[in-house]
Amino acid sequence: MLVQDSGCAIPTSVRSLFQAHDPRVARQTSDSAFTSDTQLGTEAVWAQVQNIKRRANKCFRRHMDEHAWCDIVQLVLQLALRIAGGSDPNFNLEINNVQSRAVDSAFLPQI
């Protein structure tokens, strides 16, 4: 399922585009997933969705690694933040890429 209990994350303006281009996804997406409160235009949102889909398909077809998929996730998060933040100047969420690293031996228990 594309969206499950996401609560108003997809602009209502792109709903008809989902229905036209991917009816299965449109049927699986609940009404509560859509919001009418967005400053982004339909064409801009749809172009970004299509770009994300193209890049995800490329990652899938080429069996790309985790790093490539993280780029896709970052695109999804950026779009979601633009939709959620709209024109609110006080909306201050940002995406940070945090990589796993080995624990410094100074912080490990000593026997």
Q: What is the pLDDT of residue 30?
A: 81
Range of the domain at 58: 10-100
Residue 108 falls inside a structural domain: no
Q: How many domains does the chain have?
A: 1
Q: Where are the beta strands (DSSP E) in 2-111?
A: 10-11, 34-35
Q: What is the pLDDT of residue 52?
A: 93
Sign of the Cα pseudo-torsion (76, 33, 4, 92, in order): positive
Residue 1 falls inside a structural domain: no
d(CA 75, CA 67): 13
d(CA 91, CA 99): 25
Within 10 angstroms of residue 93's Cβ, the number of other Cβ atoms is: 9
Tens of pLDDT along 43-98?
888 889 899 999 999 999 999 988 899 899 999 988 888 877 776 778 777 787 77
